[in-house]
Amino acid sequence: MRNEQEMMDLILSVAKEDERIRAVYMNGSRTNANVSKDIFQDYDIVYVVTETDSFLKDEDWIDVFGQRLMEQEPDKNDQGASGDFTDFYGYLMLFTDGNRIDLHIETMNHLKEHYGKDKLTFPLLDKDGCLPDLPEPTDADYHVQKPSEQAYMSCCNNFWWCQQNVAKSLWRDEVPYAKFMFDCVIRRDLDQMVSWWIGIQTDFQVSTGKAGNYFKYFLSDDYWNRYESTYSDSRPDHIWQSMFAAGELFRTLASEVADHFLFIYRKKDDENMTHYLQQVRSLSPYANSIF
């Protein structure tokens, strides 16, 4: 596997030798001092080019980066081959040695509109002095944000309300919908509450990562173990267990968040839905009445 120095030398040498490429910058995790380096980190690279057309007409130019295991061209996937790629285009490339480059080409017009909006931007090469000065890269834009009272109330309400969808699906033996509602809807609110709780502990100076992938580093062992227990396989009894575990953890964290911000945690919603869930869980599959 090529190391970081080899990859960066290659990325820059391609740019230096091609007159169409006028500047290079990087963003993403490799510019974030708060992220530990590892072998799976992408190289998020942007080439500022005089035009995109010649690159798109002869895409063999990307072969110089190495043999590709797989690639994706998301702009073409979204717009089709006849899309407008005049100002911006991207190649996501996974190489046979395990390295990955997310490479985008953009024109000066696109640069002027977008450069620096991502605060994790770091310039690598500027042939013409076209890259404006930027402060040191920071992940501040990704830090947990303090909740408004409305956002907090909405999160709590949706977390409890949507659990009845899981309950009825489990009673009907419709596991796919139950899993979807729990993993894609309810978990979103659970993760939001976990993030707010972590924000309080860290004075809202950290990011919890994509989909909470840094939760483990900020939660206590007890809270992390409880969070892990909210994941289940497809067995209905295990889904029930994970849902009640999620309710217990949410109740604890939401109460602490409410105390911190002087919000009101609607205990009645919690109690009523928990009672409803317990009732549905105990129902016979042939029941003709819920209560």
- Strand, helix or coil for residue 212: helix
Confidence of residue 87 (pLDDT cuts 50, 70, 90): very high
What whole-number percentage of the chain has pLDDT above 70? 100
Closest CA to 76 of 94, 62, 88: 88
Q: Per-residue pLDDT averaged across 263-271, rounded?
A: 97
Residue 286 has which token pair?
Answer: 């042939």
Full-model pTM: 0.90
Domain end, chosen from 140, 171, 203, is at 140
Tell whether 135 and 186 lie within a shared domain: no
State the total domains in the chain: 2
Residue 94 has which token pair?
Answer: 């996974």
**What pLDDT is recorded for position 82?**
85
Q: The CATH number of the domain where 186 resides is what? A: 1.20.120.330
Tell whether 64 and 106 lie within a shared domain: yes
Beta-carbon contacts of 25 under 8 Å, excluding residues fewer than 6 positions away, are 45, 46, 48, 115, 121, 122, 123, 124, 131
Tell whether 185 and 107 lie within a shared domain: no
pLDDT digits (tens, 9 = 90+) for 190-201: 999 999 999 999
Tell whether 161 and 270 lie within a shared domain: yes
Could you give the CA distance from residue 225 to residue 252 in angstroms, rounded to a whole number?
Answer: 14
Tell whether 160 and 198 lie within a shared domain: yes
Instruction: State yes or no: pLDDT of 151 exceeds 90.
Output: yes
pLDDT digits (tens, 9 = 90+) for 24-43: 999 999 999 888 899 999 99
Cα separation of the two ends of the chain: 62
Instruction: State yes or no: pLDDT of 84 exceeds 90.
Output: yes
pLDDT digits (tens, 9 = 90+) for 94-140: 999 999 999 999 999 999 999 999 999 999 999 999 999 999 999 99
**What pLDDT is recorded for position 81?**
87
Domain extent, residue 173, equals 143-281
Q: Does any domain span residue 212?
A: yes
**Rounded to the nearest 10 degrees, what angle do helices 221-228 and 236-261 cross at?**
140
Phi, psi of 40 (to 5 degrees): -100, 0
